[in-house]
């Protein structure tokens, strides 16, 4: 060990494998009775765990054991900062001009300035996230409401009830539900995220190597499986299973433990996935969308396009099925697979999409969020060559912009809790920092999902509200303030 001071000794190790393998660090610091472990992707701040031991001898012995375990796994001493971070895979896509004879009836279009993958549409807002790390919220008529500025490109946006999460190329998943976004999950250092889904606080990650990783609300690994194929762009989850799409098809796993339930080869590698109550839809590189039974994996219907399918979605219960291809076209099929129409997007290829209330929302290769009138009347008129003049949405002059909290100093302090607010406290529990509720009327044994960057042992915080999640924990809703 190298001495950092008279009382602190620190050992820094790295594991970096060729060919896109592991690229991570592991650091152990001993300060008297306290052992601090920091680990993560090389070049990132990583995660920190602190444990206090009854004697200095036991602390040193525990540190030596941890170091020995990592060395046996291939880690070696290194100097922090000498090895560069490994670039995260960014989805490389092409977009050809549309061969459709008519253009879709676009109501409005908002250009974000960079290729966009992330989309979510709810009762109040439309969300779009792009490769520059920008997430914008708009109302359903295209009015821009706010902007979140995240540290890296947004791979996808997912929702879990009220909560909205952005998966980014820096390996973190940010909670955008509060005024100040925070990193809710920090994905394992050797996982190159391709897509995410979240269900009742449990995060499901599919990656470049065809793995599925499941992480709970405390950002702790639950289980992982490697599917038969690589390049896993599809992940969808519900109470019954986790549906994982990769270049050899779709594999379903049990949500508790990850036992394989079924595997179905598809026509081409899976590039996108969508789910309804009883079925999942897989858009593939072989120009089709296929509908699979959630119960058995059987293919129930096939929807044929003219180019590789980058995205798909459905109206409620799958009455209509939509697809976006690599040639800047968007399709609509009936439930059984009959193509009803094919139209050009006018804005590049749709990388993700969502249907809501007779409107189809697309995010595209040219960085646009596009709102298409998908009503029968509008589509019939478009097929005859009559479309509305698309309205280009402009940014507001004084747009509110929010960035993630990076330190405790970023959190506002208050002298006392406002009426109706909830007080929580950060406590040391089994070597980990947890957050529990202090206010009456809550289960004090439950953990609170809380930003790791602002946790301090013994500190108390005030939150606007807490909501119970099915997994037996609380989620914060509203602002977080430090209680003096």
Which pLDDT value is given to residue 410?
Answer: 58
Could you give the 3-state DSSP secondary structure of residue 59? helix
pLDDT digits (tens, 9 = 90+) for 220-229: 778 999 999 9
Which pLDDT value is given to residue 400?
Answer: 85
Asked whether the predicted pLDDT for residue 472 surpasses 60, the reply is yes
Cα–Cα distance between 236 and 80 in angstroms, integer? Answer: 37
Share of the chain above pLDDT 90, in %: 60
Which pLDDT value is given to residue 139?
Answer: 96
The mean-pLDDT minimum among 85-99, 171-185, 342-356 falls in 85-99
Residue pointed to by tokens 């969508």 = 274
pLDDT digits (tens, 9 = 90+) for 224-257: 999 999 999 999 999 999 999 999 999 999 998 8
As a residue count, the chain comes to: 484
Tell me if the pTM is above 0.85.
Answer: no
Average model confidence (pLDDT) across the chain: 89
The mean-pLDDT minimum among 103-107, 203-207, 274-278, 393-397 falls in 393-397
63 near 30, Cβ under 8 Å? yes
Every domain range in the chain assigned CATH 2.20.140.10:
2-77
Asked whether the predicted pLDDT for residue 385 surpasses 80, the reply is yes
Let me know the angle formed at the C-alpha of 247 by 40 and 211, rounded to the nearest 5 degrees.
25
pLDDT digits (tens, 9 = 90+) for 181-192: 888 887 765 567
Which pLDDT value is given to residue 263?
Answer: 98
Asked whether the predicted pLDDT for residue 300 surpasses 70, the reply is yes
Every domain range in the chain assigned CATH 2.40.50:
407-483
400 near 146, Cβ under 8 Å? yes
310 near 326, Cβ under 8 Å? yes
CATH 2.20.140.10 matches 2-77:
yes
Q: pLDDT grade, residue 5 (50/70/90)?
A: very low
Q: pLDDT grade, residue 1 (50/70/90)?
A: very low
Q: pLDDT grade, residue 398 (50/70/90)?
A: confident
Asked whether the predicted pLDDT for residue 2 surpasses 50, the reply is no
Shortest CA distance to 428 belongs to which of 404, 458, 384, 387? 458
Shortest CA distance to 163 belongs to which of 145, 185, 144, 141? 185
The arrangement of secondary structure in 106-393, i.e. its CATH architecture, is: 7 Propeller (2.130)
Asked whether the predicted pLDDT for residue 88 surpasses 50, the reply is yes
Which pLDDT value is given to residue 429?
Answer: 82
Quickly name the fold that domain 407-483 has.
OB fold (Dihydrolipoamide Acetyltransferase, E2P) (2.40.50)
105 near 378, Cβ under 8 Å? yes
Residue 326: partners with Cβ closer than 8 Å, 6 or more residues away: 93, 94, 95, 96, 307, 308, 309, 310, 349
Cα–Cα distance between 243 and 293 in angstroms, integer? Answer: 11
């Amino acid at each position: 060990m190298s001495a950092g001071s008279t009382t602190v000794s620190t050992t820094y190790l790295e594991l970096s494998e060729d060919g896109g393998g592991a690229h991570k660090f592991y650091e152990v610091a001993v300060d008297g009775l306290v052992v601090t472990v920091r680990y993560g992707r090389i070049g990132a701040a990583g995660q920190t765990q602190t444990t206090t031991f009854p004697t200095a001898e036991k602390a040193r012995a525990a540190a030596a054991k941890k170091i020995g375990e990592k060395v046996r796994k291939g880690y070696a001493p290194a100097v922090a900062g000498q090895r560069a971070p490994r670039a995260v895979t960014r989805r490389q896509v092409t977009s050809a001009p549309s061969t459709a004879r008519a253009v879709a009836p676009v109501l409005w279009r908002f250009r974000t300035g960079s290729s966009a993958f992330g989309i979510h549409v709810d009762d109040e807002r439309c969300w779009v996230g792009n490769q520059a790390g920008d997430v914008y919220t708009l109302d359903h008529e295209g009015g821009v409401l706010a902007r979140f500025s995240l540290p890296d490109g947004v791979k996808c946006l997912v929702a879990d009830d009220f909560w909205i999460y952005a998966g980014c190329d820096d390996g973190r998943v940010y909670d955008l539900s509060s005024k100040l976004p925070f990193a809710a999950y920090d994905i394992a250092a050797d996982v190159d995220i391709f897509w995410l889904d979240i269900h009742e606080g449990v995060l499901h990650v599919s990656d470049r190597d065809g793995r599925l990783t499941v992480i709970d609300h405390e950002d702790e690994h639950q289980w992982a499986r490697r599917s038969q194929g690589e390049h896993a762009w599809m992940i969808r989850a519900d109470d019954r299973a986790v549906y994982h799409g990769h270049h050899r098809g779709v594999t379903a796993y049990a949500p508790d433990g990850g036992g394989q339930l079924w595997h179905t080869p598809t026509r081409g590698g899976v590039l996108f996935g969508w789910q309804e109550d009883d079925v999942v839809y897989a858009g593939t590189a072989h120009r089709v969308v296929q509908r699979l039974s959630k119960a058995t994996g059987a293919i129930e219907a096939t929807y044929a396009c003219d180019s590789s399918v980058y995205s798909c979605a459905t109206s409620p219960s799958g009455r209509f099925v939509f697809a976006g291809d690599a040639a800047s076209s968007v399709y609509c099929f009936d439930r059984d697979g009959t193509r009803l129409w094919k139209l050009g997007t006018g804005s590049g290829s749709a990388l993700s999409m969502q249907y809501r209330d007779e409107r189809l929302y697309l995010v595209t290769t040219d960085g646009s969020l596009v709102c298409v009138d998908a009503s029968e009347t509008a589509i019939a008129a478009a097929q005859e060559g009559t479309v509305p003049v698309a309205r280009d949405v402009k940014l507001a002059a004084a747009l509110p912009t929010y960035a993630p909290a990076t330190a405790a100093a970023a959190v506002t302090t208050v002298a006392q809790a406002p009426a109706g607010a909830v007080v929580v406290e950060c406590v040391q529990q089994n070597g980990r920092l947890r957050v529990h509720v202090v206010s009456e009327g809550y289960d004090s044994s439950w953990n609170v999902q809380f930003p790791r960057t602002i946790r301090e042992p013994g500190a108390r915080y005030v939150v606007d509200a807490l909501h119970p999640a099915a997994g037996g924990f609380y989620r914060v809703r509203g602002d977080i303030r430090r209680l003096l």
